[in-house]
Amino acid sequence: MAVRGFEAREKSVLTLIYPRRPQQRLVLLGLKKRGFGQGKLNGFGGKLEPGECLEDSAIRELQEECGLTADRDGLNWRGSLTYLYDTKPKAMEVNVFDLNMWKGEPEETEEMKPAWYGHEDIPLDKMWADDAYWLLQYLDEQMATPFVGRFRFKGHEGPDSWEVLEHSVAPLVPASVPRFGQSEPGAALLVSTVSFVDAPNARPLESFIRYHLRKGFARVMIFVDDPSDTATLDVVRRFPTSRVLYRVRGEDLLQAQRQHCASFKKLAGFIDKEVSARQLIDFEFASTLAPSLACRWILCLDSDELFYTSEDSIVPHFQMLESQDIHQMSYLNHEGVPEQPETQDYFATVSLFKQHQFAVPLTAKARSGLRFWMDRSKHGQYFLFYDNGKSACRTGFGATPSSQHLWQLPAGHKSCTALADPRRMDVEGFRECRDPCILHFPVCGVAWLYAKYKTLGAFPDKWLGNMPLDESFHKDAREAHLSHGDALSALFTEQVMLDSEQAAAQIACGTCVRLTEHVTVLDSVPAATTMPDSTANPALINSAVAQGDTLVGVERGWILSKAMGYLSPELQ
């Protein structure tokens, strides 16, 4: 039974720990003597306290409730269950851990009365009603872990707490994903340097992490760009440290980067001033750690990007690249188009995308669609931000990031690109790939536009001291922000957002596509109301190769770029 709309609700995050003696098929349960769930038998746990991560909270709760001192190495995150009680406004996300190493003997406390139970003797009728759907399967290892589950209850007390109205439990990721912690083909690390200090909220970060874990990334590594960024820290701490690691900017990190990163010297002068310098050093540092984290691939994204695939998992894609001895693959990026001025979480709501110009069909209609955007923007831009994709790279063979988009490979390693870029004419390296691709949600709401330019501040006219910035939306947005008026809002209305009529026209002419797989994975409802069924197909990026358009990518890119004036003068 599908349970929808859970992620859209406010929720508290809790732990639930089961101390176990698997060989004897024993589990320690406690009778809850007071508070939430009073009178029921359950594992041990409770809410995260401010500043606590899941594991610290689990260890504290176990100690408080039954006197056992958990050994951190014996604590394993097995899944998360979200509960919605119709009598409570907030959902509860409960993270299930099992524990197989501890010190001490269980003792009764004011909150819990503990006792050991054999798996065969577990009295489900004295427990929460959802336990009947998963607890025994989990204890007997008959259920793939990690798992995600959702349960809706009529109420949290009395007979209502026995009524499960909706339920679902499933593996977090498909079976194709390598077993976590083993360096198997396709195991990938996702990296991002993040700041939500100036942002309206950090919900997109939670979606960013959740989406990528669901799509089979083995680990996520977050660099917290600003140590005072409690919003980001609060989010990353809610994920198990076995899957989501974080490092906070500061002297320790700098020291480690100085020691391990070849580019430290070159970037040192910019690290304080430019986000891009911090990203590059973080990416290189993460790539040095990746092999020890059993990750054979690395992908570095901003926290307003998703590695989109309509498949269940990204793993078979990386496995395929490995089997063909490809060490780097660059992906097309598509730019999100907001259809509403505000959203709490752009990943959960934005479903309209300008396709990369190299993926737009070469039809007269599409060309008029491109013209629409170029006429609309002050500097003749179709995309308002970058159009050179992002790349995934193999780890452990000495590649270093040459930019946020591309890795520098040691000689003799194969690199491929889905961008049929006529400026390079890299015919050898071109490889048709529409899925996976990058979805970029750069300014998908007025508040997010303000937040982005507040964070970037008065950035210089040159990247890393030497690459001049073009006259562009990006520069205009900087000026608009520094002018402190409502110039930024005007930019948003005039150049970023589309109304429903314009959106339908852009979809019809082939420049924009409607993609909803990420919205489905995040289990939320898209904000847009204009979603004709024919365009809600996740495979649409592939079918957007227009009817009658038989040109392969490089030719298409060449002609289109010439037509649109993208070619540099010497190539024209």
Ligand X SMILES: Nc1[nH]c(=O)nc2c1ncn2[C@H]1C[C@H](O)[C@@H](COP(=O)(O)OP(=O)(O)OP(=O)(O)O)O1
| Residues lying near ligand X in the complex (CB under 6 A) | 14, 16, 35-37, 42, 45-47, 83, 92, 94, 128, 130-131
> Of 128 and 239, which CB lies nearer to ligand X in the complex structure?
128
> Of 130 and 523, which CB lies nearer to ligand X in the complex structure?
130
> Of 13 and 315, which CB lies nearer to ligand X in the complex structure?
13
> Of 32 and 296, which CB lies nearer to ligand X in the complex structure?
32
Kindly state the smallest distance separating residue 46's Cβ from ligand X, in Å. Answer: 3
Asked if 5 and 524 touch (Cβ cutoff 8 Å), the reply is: yes
Amino acid 255 reads Q
Kindly state the smallest distance separating residue 181's Cβ from ligand X, in Å. Answer: 26
99 has which bridge partners? 19, 75
Kindly state the smallest distance separating residue 138's Cβ from ligand X, in Å. Answer: 11
Kindly state the smallest distance separating residue 100's Cβ from ligand X, in Å. Answer: 19
Asked if 461 and 468 touch (Cβ cutoff 8 Å), the reply is: yes
Tokens 């038989």 belong to 550
> Of 128 and 147, which CB lies nearer to ligand X in the complex structure?
128
> Of 115 and 571, which CB lies nearer to ligand X in the complex structure?
115
The string of DSSP letters for 58-98 reads HHHHHHHHH--EE-GGGEEEEEEEEEEETT-SSEEEEEEEE
Taking residue 190's Cβ as centre, other Cβ atoms within 10 Å add up to: 27
Kindly state the smallest distance separating residue 133's Cβ from ligand X, in Å. Answer: 10
> Of 137 and 259, which CB lies nearer to ligand X in the complex structure?
137
> Of 94 and 527, which CB lies nearer to ligand X in the complex structure?
94
Instruction: Report helix, strand or coil for 173.
Output: coil
513-550 per-residue burial string, b: 16 or more CB within 10 A, e: under 16: bbbbbbbebbbbebbbebbeeebbbbebbeebbbeeee
Chain Cα centroid distance, residue 439: 11
Kindly state the smallest distance separating residue 159's Cβ from ligand X, in Å. Answer: 15
> Of 33 and 260, which CB lies nearer to ligand X in the complex structure?
33
Asked if 508 and 397 touch (Cβ cutoff 8 Å), the reply is: no
Asked if 356 and 404 touch (Cβ cutoff 8 Å), the reply is: no
Kindly state the smallest distance separating residue 153's Cβ from ligand X, in Å. Answer: 7
> Of 130 and 517, which CB lies nearer to ligand X in the complex structure?
130
The two beta strands, 219-224 and 188-194, are: parallel
> Of 45 and 200, which CB lies nearer to ligand X in the complex structure?
45
The C-alpha atoms of residue 332 and residue 556 are separated, in whole angstroms, by 14
> Of 130 and 387, which CB lies nearer to ligand X in the complex structure?
130
166 has which bridge partners? 152
Instruction: Kindly report whether the peptide bond that precedes residue 185 is cis, defined as omega within 30 degrees of 0.
Output: no
DSSP H or E stretch at residue 472: none
CA-to-CA dists, residue 124 to 20, 36, 113, 130, 166, angstroms: 17, 18, 17, 9, 18
The two beta strands, 26-32 and 11-21, are: antiparallel
Kindly state the smallest distance separating residue 34's Cβ from ligand X, in Å. Answer: 8
Kindly state the smallest distance separating residue 210's Cβ from ligand X, in Å. Answer: 20
Kindly state the smallest distance separating residue 241's Cβ from ligand X, in Å. Answer: 19
Closest chain position to ligand X (CB): 46
> Of 17 and 173, which CB lies nearer to ligand X in the complex structure?
17
Burial class (CB within 10 angstroms; exposed 0-12, middle 13-18, buried 19+) of 229: buried
C-alpha triplet 355, 363, 427: angle, nearest 5° = 65
The C-alpha atoms of residue 9 and residue 357 are separated, in whole angstroms, by 37
DSSP H helix total and E strand total for the chain: 17, 26
Kindly state the smallest distance separating residue 131's Cβ from ligand X, in Å. Answer: 5
> Of 53 and 554, which CB lies nearer to ligand X in the complex structure?
53
Helices 364-376 and 500-509: crossing angle in degrees, nearest 10, is: 140
Kindly state the smallest distance separating residue 102's Cβ from ligand X, in Å. Answer: 17
SS3 content of the chain, % helix, strand, coil (to 5): 35, 25, 45
Instruction: Report helix, strand or coil for 344.
Output: coil
Kindly state the smallest distance separating residue 128's Cβ from ligand X, in Å. Answer: 3
**Paired tokens of 508:** 């019809």
> Of 89 and 412, which CB lies nearer to ligand X in the complex structure?
89
Kindly state the smallest distance separating residue 525's Cβ from ligand X, in Å. Answer: 25
Kindly state the smallest distance separating residue 8's Cβ from ligand X, in Å. Answer: 20
Nearest to 384 by CA among 431, 328, 322, 449: 449
Amino acid 277 reads A
